[in-house]
Amino acid sequence: MMDEFPETLVSIEWHSPSYTPSGSDFDLSSEYSQRSGMYGVGGIPHTQWNGVEETVGGYPNGDWSPMYSSFISIYNSMVGDDTPYDIEINGMINETVVSYDVFITMDADMSSTNQKVDIFVVEDNIWSYWSGASSYHDARNVARNWVVTENLSISLSGETETFSGTFDLSDAWVFDNVKIIAIVQNYGNPKQIYQASQININDMNPDIDDDSILNGEDNCVDVYNPNQEDVDSDQIGDMCDPCNDLVYVLGNANGDLDQNGDPVIDIFDLFTLVDNLQEETINECSENVMNINGDNHINILDVVYLMQILLNSN
């Protein structure tokens, strides 16, 4: 099924310490105990679908084929479920150190209560002896590392949150088969998994915008800017910085430009300043340029100062 539905079926195989082959290096006893404890795992093999539906038991000699009809039914009942979360994973490899960024985006409102982001490292296609079946089998997406669990703080449509970190590749792993898996899971009851995503570490793009500046050093990761200009030295390149000093100069409250690309300060900036004071919705780019008198407070005095400036200039 993993080969049949590679875009929508994400799995992690956790080996029970009681049946993990002796001498293997994927016996994650502590992590296994924590994951199995979440679901009350007793008998094995055990599958847990989206954290809420389980199956227990299999067929002799590790033959999973007869389980297909049961599994496909569960899969079809879940694959069309709505979720407010989108997960994108990217990063780069530096010898044996992998740097990753997990981007969570919301397209609908949902409470962040008990919502967490789990990031795992797995290795696919390990030919391993399974003592429970007295035979070898192709172990898929075997858990290698539970990298981190983080609280998810976003809850509104349009919000995004990024989780970044690193992990080491072991010499015992086949690097070409290593994947990063990220999930959004509720740690309340039930343990609903709302989204999952995976990427092979070889498929990550270390230079998304092809400007020869690696993502970790690029001040505009998604925008081509090989010269890395940053006029206001805020570590955000001018090409992707909506608040740079080229546009939002003092008084240009609405951030408009003339036909030459120069900022314009006029009566419309006065209107913008008044509107923002009334509605208390000052955006981050306008905040500094609306403090006309420099007292670190944006109020009616700034309106007066800007009006005087406009009346005494051309």
Assign residue 309 a region: left if phi > 0, alpha if psi is -120 to 50, beta otherwise?
A: alpha
pLDDT band at 282 (very low <50, low <70, confident <90, very high): low
Reduce the DSSP state of residue 200 to 3 states and report it: strand
pLDDT above 70 as % of the chain? 96
For the chain, what is the mean pLDDT? 89
Question: CATH 2.60.40.10 spans which residues of the chain?
Answer: 29-203
Q: Compute the distance between CA of residue 14 and CA of residue 36 in angstroms, rounded to an integer.
A: 9
Weakest-pLDDT range from 69-78, 104-113, 199-208, 232-241: 232-241
pLDDT of residue 17: 81
* Separation between Cα atoms, residue 175 and residue 283, nearest integer Å: 45
Fold for 29-203, please state it: Immunoglobulin-like (2.60.40)
pLDDT (tens digit per residue) in 95-123 = 999 999 999 999 999 999 999 999 999 99
Question: Where do you find CATH 1.10.1330.10 in the chain?
Answer: 247-311
What is the model's pLDDT at position 281? 67
> Token pair 């509720």 is at which residue?
186
Handedness of CA 140, 19, 38, 58 (dihedral sign): positive
Quick check: 284 pLDDT over 80?
no
Whether the predicted pLDDT of 252 surpasses 60: yes
Q: What is the pLDDT of residue 132?
A: 67
Q: Which helix (H) or strand (E) holds 303?
A: helix 300-311
> If pLDDT is split at 50, 70 and 90, which confidence band does 245 have?
low
Give the residues across from 115 on adjacent strands.
186
Mean pLDDT (whole number) for 135-148 = 92
What is the per-residue pLDDT across 172-197, written as a single tens digit (0 to 9) for each?
999 999 999 999 999 998 999 999 99
Q: Is 75 helix (H, G, I), strand (E, B) or coil?
A: helix
Tell me, which fold does domain 247-311 have in CATH?
Type 1 dockerin domain (1.10.1330)
Share of the chain above pLDDT 90, in %: 56
